[in-house]
Amino acid sequence: MQQRKYSTLYTFGFAAAVCIVCSFLVSTAAVTLQQRQKKNKILDKQINVLSAIGFIEPGQSVSEKEVDTLFQDIESVVVDLRSGKVDGSIDPLGFDQQEAKDDPERSREAPTNRAQVQRIPNHALIYKVLKDNGQLNMLVLPVEGKGLWSTLYGFLALDSDLRTIRGITFYQHGETPGLGGEIGNPRWQKIWKGRKAFDADWDIRIQVIKGKAGPPEQDPYQVDGLSGATITARGVTALVQFWLGENGFGPYLKNLRQKQQTAQVDAPARPSGVA
């Protein structure tokens, strides 16, 4: 059989057509997957928020529908970190804190700190869990900072007293499995529950120590260390203290405490003889 010969122009044209078709398919797949990846990233953060407040167990498998149902009792709020006030002009659903942090127009350089936070976003997305009467039940704050090998991203949940820790989770890090990676271990995360972030004078006291800490009622400001992961443990202490401090959520927590105190003072007194 005689082999058919193609001209050089035909060969280049055919190759160009294949490249165009493949480029279109790859671009379409990339755009489609990008949306799905973004949605999965949001879902993963929501699951970690639910884990931090104890609505689900750490590592528990839940469906997207279940997450949506559980999140109905959670209010997303954007806070101005400098003033410590809620900024109602920003839609929480469309706000990306990491994008804001990377934008020089929407962030500022952080002062030297042990958590090695380089930039602070002007605004941050927090989560408020409310009681049936609308009062605050829990508050969930995003936290981040350097460990040994990576930046640790997580959530810290505080009780309505704004002092007691209800939980902590880390949803992204690159620490060594079995060592610093134990920050993702549900057993270690449960040790935080009931500890106190602040003392009676509202000074930040919580820290991860070397060795074992006592139970929360006896050793409220200390958390068990991570065996063989001293630097990661120091990083966790540093990042939690940084975001609870004046350059993080300190101004917002102070405003919230003042509002709670005012509400208690203004609350109507109970009639005599009523328990």
The pLDDT assigned to 275 comes to: 35
Q: Is the pLDDT of residue 147 over 70?
A: yes
pLDDT of amino acid 273: 46
Residue 88 lies in a domain: yes
216-240 burial code (b ≥16 CB/10 A, e <16): beeebbbbbbbeebeebbbbbbbbb
Distance CA 196, CA 203 (A): 11
Host domain of residue 213? 52-58+70-265
Closest CA to 192 of 218, 226, 168: 168
**Domain presence at residue 46:** no
Please provide the average confidence, as pLDDT, over all residues in the chain: 87
- 158-207 pLDDT, tens digit per residue, is 999 999 999 999 989 999 999 999 999 999 999 999 999 999 999 999 99
Share of the chain above pLDDT 90, in %: 64
Of the two residues 4 and 220, the one the predictor is more confident about is 220
Cross-strand partners of 156: 141, 168
C-alpha 91 chain-centroid distance:
18
pLDDT of residue 42: 78
pLDDT band for 52, please (50, 70, 90 cuts). Answer: confident
Residue at 239 is within a domain: yes
Q: Is residue 189 part of a domain?
A: yes
Q: 196 with 163: CB under 8 angstroms?
A: yes
What pLDDT is stored for residue 32 in this prediction? 55
In a domain, 270, yes or no: no
Task: Identify the band that residue 67 occupies on the pLDDT scale cut at 50, 70 and 90.
Answer: confident
The answer to whether 48 and 169 are in contact (CB under 8 A) is yes
Q: Pick the residue with more confidence: 95 or 8?
A: 95
- Mean pLDDT, residues 234-251 taken together: 97
With a cut of 50, say whether residue 61 has pLDDT above it. yes
Task: Provide the total of helices (H) and of strands (E) in the chain, helices listed first.
Answer: 6, 10
Give the gyration radius of the chain's Cα atoms: 24
Q: What is the mean pLDDT of residues 116-120?
A: 97
Within a domain: residue 44? no
Distance between start and end Cα atoms, the chain: 104
Asked whether residue 271 is assigned to any structural domain, the reply reads no
> What pLDDT, on a 0 to 100 scale, did the predictor assign at position 62?
84
* Predicted pLDDT at 274: 43
Q: What domain count does the chain have?
A: 1
